[in-house]
A and B are shown apart, each in its own frame.
Chain A
Amino acid sequence: MFTDFFYALKNRKVPVSITEWMTLMEALSRGYVSNLDEFYYLARAILVKSENHYDQYDVAFQECFNGIAGPAEINQQILDWLKDAAKRKTLTDEERALFKSIDFDKLIEEFENRLKEQTEQHDGGGNWIGRGGTSPFGHSGYHPGGIRVGGERGYGSAAKVAAERRFQNYRSDLTLDIRQMKMALRRLRQLSRTGYEDELDLDETIDATCKNAGELEFMWMRSRKNAVKMLLLMDVGGSMDEFALLCSQLFSAAHSSSHFKDFKYYYFHNCIYDNLYQDIERRSSVSTDHLLRTMEPDYKVVLVGDAAMAPTELAQRDGIISYYEHNETPGIVWLKRIADHFTHCVWLNPDGSNQWGVMSAQMIKKIFPMYDLTLDGLGEAMKKLTVKT
């Protein structure tokens, strides 16, 4: 019966492996568990290796052992919330947390049901969806893609992108061709001798010993370490889809280059606004302001994106394409703040086809030096990042 639980966890994207499963079986067979509560903590300690996955674990656990469909209740709350669009802008943390924890497909499904219900209950259900600007769907009117049929379809496609998880191999280690990129990234080095004198300086030792008439005299030096810290900000989704492979290669190269002192990465969609995201699905967010406040300016910043968007997305308040969100500050101001805060920034553009002729790219180019995401472009960009200012 427990095997179902294993697969439920897998389905919830908790990275459990056979090794851990066998450990759990060992613990169970030794009789360490006498009730469900103890099982809950035992299994969690053995199977889940990051607090980030505790939540998915809870959902899977409920599913298997309580017979309660995990997210159903939560969905209801989300739907209540969706119904009242005015509340949308004052989302509390708890609500955000709820949002993270739900299964996307399920939400869509429930959501569509809800829509049907709405039509049945009120004749003007269609109006409800279309009510300009105030309802979450109406918001899609801002969408430059111009979804006229109502939000439903737009929502569907966004969910599809997430469900396909075509970016999941961003983090896997592709070995082909990445080596070349790694070599390019290698240029990003500022070696300095730091720390304790813990390396034997052979030449000096021999010299000193000779001068000492054969009496051993040890000379030490500090070891060389790379002081470069890197911040990678990547545009994902939408028009970036066709460059997914290229971007994943770059990511792999940067991520597996162990020579950086520190490497941080965040995702955004089209342009950077109040929040950046820690995952490709853009569910867990970090406030951009917070990052600017807490990160030292000496991080080398590499932005990756095609810089192709409607000019309104850059220049306007609430220009953000996603209609869950709104932004007080136009994207271009955020970009400028990043450029001002960090001493070294470059923008890598994978879209070589239009030579960045689109207006938004022209605007961004004025803020960040822009390079092609090719080996040459990468090389140039790295050179730019090492120039002293």
Chain B
Amino acid sequence: MNTCDFDQFKGSSSYVTSGPLRNAVNVSIALGRPLLIRGEPGTGKTQLSHSIAKGLGKKLISWNIKSTTKAQEGLYVYDTVQRLNDSRFGDKNVSNIKQYIKLGKLGQAFASPEQVVLLIDEVDKADIEFPNDLLNELDEMSFYIPETNETVSAVHRPITVITSNAEKELPDAFLRRCIFHYIEFPNHELMEQIVKVHYPDIKDNLLKEALKTFYSLREIDEFRKKPSTSELIDWIRALVAAGIPQDKISSEIPLVSALLKKEQDVNHLVDTYMTRVGDSFVVRRK
């Protein structure tokens, strides 16, 4: 059968993907279903959609969800206040409601003349009912605007990527319509590849030391926020920029503030695992 439309997404030069993830992306593109991506913070959930857009040469529309976001805003907003204002000053014909209907991100994705990649970022930030409110729109890829008696329907089904941090449980009905992939935390080898994509000329020894320290920090369960990929990449950038000698990396964990973002975590690390030697702190030997 026709499989040429299946293996579309192959990753992009700046984003390393695993086989199963590529597979999930391609399934979702082929079936026209939203792809739900979950994973620890900093594993590149949001970056994935950028990579898809870049890899397939499509435009990316991102809709960043906040706790106050309503489903309706993604479809369209009827700017009544503007209309009221215009009517007050009377320099415009306000009888045409159309000019006060502004399409939201979802609406823009539907109305776009070419296929786009639509990112709905951090869907679980919004109210619990939020995903349910979008069920029909994502299913039918169309919605109705009662004010103008118009139906906006997708010219091309957008490639929809939805990310979630699993802060709240998503409704079953919503999940049933999605393709799901959990981005596992990268293992040592994959992580090396990822770092090398960002820093092609990094010295092997430095990378080795940095990764060793990084993974040993991740084993500490008491941290409020464990360091993740994006923090590792920042840290390595800082290490390189500061010209830290590589033998100090695992013994002193320099520039730790790039890895640990909470004061309590830094304190915990210093109190539990480090001792003061002269002016600096050194990791205690076990």
Binding site for B on A (CB under 8 A): 15, 17, 19-20, 23, 26-27, 30-32, 38, 41-42, 44-46, 48-51, 54, 195-196, 198, 200, 215-216, 218, 258, 287, 290, 293-294
Tell me, yes or no, whether B1 is within 8 Å of chain A by CB.
yes
Tell me, yes or no, whether B133 is within 8 Å of chain A by CB.
no
Q: State whether A258 touches B27 (Cβ < 8 A).
A: no
Checking B1, B20, B38, B88 against A41 with a beta-carbon cut-off of 8 angstroms, the contacting residue is: B20
Residues in A neighbouring B241, C-beta threshold 8 A: none
Task: For the complex formed, measure the closest distance between the CB of B223 and the CB atoms of chain A, giving whole angstroms.
Answer: 9
Q: State whether A17 touches B129 (Cβ < 8 A).
A: no
Could you list 27 examples of A-B contacts with CB < 8 Å? A17-B176, A23-B31, A26-B31, A30-B1, A31-B1, A31-B3, A32-B3, A32-B26, A32-B27, A38-B23, A41-B19, A41-B23, A41-B24, A44-B20, A45-B28, A45-B181, A49-B36, A49-B175, A50-B182, A195-B67, A196-B68, A198-B68, A215-B88, A216-B84, A218-B81, A293-B222, A293-B224
Q: State whether B221 touches A45 (Cβ < 8 A).
A: no
Checking B20, B128, B176, B182 against A19 with a beta-carbon cut-off of 8 angstroms, the contacting residue is: B176
Given A51-B38, A216-B85: A45 in contact with B176 (beta carbons within 8 A): no
Give the interface SS of chain B, mostly helix, strand, loop or mixed: mixed
Residues in B neighbouring A15, C-beta threshold 8 A: 172
Tell me, yes or no, whether B30 is within 8 Å of chain A by CB.
yes
Task: For the complex formed, measure the closest distance between the CB of A240 and the CB atoms of chain B, giving whole angstroms.
Answer: 24
Which residue of chain A has the shortest Cβ distance to B170 in the bound complex? A49
Binding site for A on B (CB under 8 A): 1-3, 6, 19-20, 23-24, 26-28, 30-31, 33, 36, 38, 67-68, 81, 84-85, 88, 127-129, 172, 175-182, 221-222, 224
Checking B36, B88, B129 against A216 with a beta-carbon cut-off of 8 angstroms, the contacting residue is: B88
A312 CA to B27 CA, complexed, in Å: 56
Given A32-B6, A42-B23, A195-B68: A48 in contact with B180 (beta carbons within 8 A): yes
A314 CA to B68 CA, complexed, in Å: 44
> Lowest 4 CB-CB distances: which A-B pairs, in order?
A31-B1, A51-B182, A49-B175, A45-B24
A215 CA to B90 CA, complexed, in Å: 13
Indicate the member of A30, A31, A218 with the most B CB atoms within 10 Å. Answer: A30
A19 CA to B67 CA, complexed, in Å: 30
Which residue of chain A has the shortest Cβ distance to B68 in the bound complex? A195
Given A51-B38, A196-B68, A216-B84: A27 in contact with B23 (beta carbons within 8 A): no
Which residue of chain B has the shortest Cβ distance to A293 in the bound complex? B222
Residues in A neighbouring B179, C-beta threshold 8 A: 45-46
A48 CA to B24 CA, complexed, in Å: 12
Q: State whether A45 touches B23 (Cβ < 8 A).
A: yes
Given A50-B180, A258-B127: A30 in contact with B30 (beta carbons within 8 A): yes
Residues in B neighbouring A19, C-beta threshold 8 A: 176-177
Residues in B neighbouring A195, C-beta threshold 8 A: 67-68
Residues in B neighbouring A218, C-beta threshold 8 A: 81
Q: State whether A258 touches B128 (Cβ < 8 A).
A: yes
Task: For the complex formed, measure the closest distance between the CB of A156 and the CB atoms of chain B, giving whole angstroms.
Answer: 33
Residues in B neighbouring A290, C-beta threshold 8 A: 221-222
Residues in B neighbouring A198, C-beta threshold 8 A: 68
Residues in A neighbouring B36, C-beta threshold 8 A: 49
Q: Can you name 9 extra interface pairs (CB under 8 A) apart from A17-B172, A38-B23, A45-B28? A: A15-B172, A19-B176, A30-B30, A42-B27, A196-B68, A215-B88, A287-B221, A293-B224, A294-B224
A50 CA to B222 CA, complexed, in Å: 25
Residues in A neighbouring B33, C-beta threshold 8 A: 23
A49 CA to B81 CA, complexed, in Å: 42
Task: For the complex formed, measure the closest distance between the CB of B266 and the CB atoms of chain A, giving whole angstroms.
Answer: 14
Residues in B neighbouring A46, C-beta threshold 8 A: 27, 179-180
Residues in A neighbouring B6, C-beta threshold 8 A: 30, 32
Which residue of chain A has the shortest Cβ distance to B26 in the bound complex? A32
Task: For the complex formed, measure the closest distance between the CB of B224 and the CB atoms of chain A, giving whole angstroms.
Answer: 5
Residues in A neighbouring B1, C-beta threshold 8 A: 30-31
A111 CA to B178 CA, complexed, in Å: 40
Which residue of chain B has the shortest Cβ distance to A195 in the bound complex? B68
Q: State whether B178 touches A49 (Cβ < 8 A).
A: yes
Which residue of chain A has the shortest Cβ distance to B38 in the bound complex? A51
Given A19-B176, A42-B23, A290-B221: A27 in contact with B68 (beta carbons within 8 A): no
A17 CA to B176 CA, complexed, in Å: 7
Residues in A neighbouring B127, C-beta threshold 8 A: 258
Which residue of chain A has the shortest Cβ distance to B6 in the bound complex? A32
Given A54-B182, A216-B84: A32 in contact with B175 (beta carbons within 8 A): no
Task: For the complex formed, measure the closest distance between the CB of B230 and the CB atoms of chain A, giving whole angstroms.
Answer: 20
Task: For the complex formed, measure the closest distance between the CB of A173 and the CB atoms of chain B, giving whole angstroms.
Answer: 12
A50 CA to B171 CA, complexed, in Å: 12
Task: For the complex formed, measure the closest distance between the CB of B180 and the CB atoms of chain A, giving whole angstroms.
Answer: 5
A198 CA to B27 CA, complexed, in Å: 40
Indicate the member of B1, B2, B20, B27 with the most A CB atoms within 10 Å. Answer: B27
Residues in B neighbouring A50, C-beta threshold 8 A: 38, 175, 180, 182
Residues in B neighbouring A196, C-beta threshold 8 A: 68
Residues in B neighbouring A42, C-beta threshold 8 A: 23, 27
Residues in B neighbouring A49, C-beta threshold 8 A: 36, 175-176, 178, 180
Task: For the complex formed, measure the closest distance between the CB of A271 and the CB atoms of chain B, giving whole angstroms.
Answer: 23
Which residue of chain A has the shortest Cβ distance to B225 in the bound complex? A294
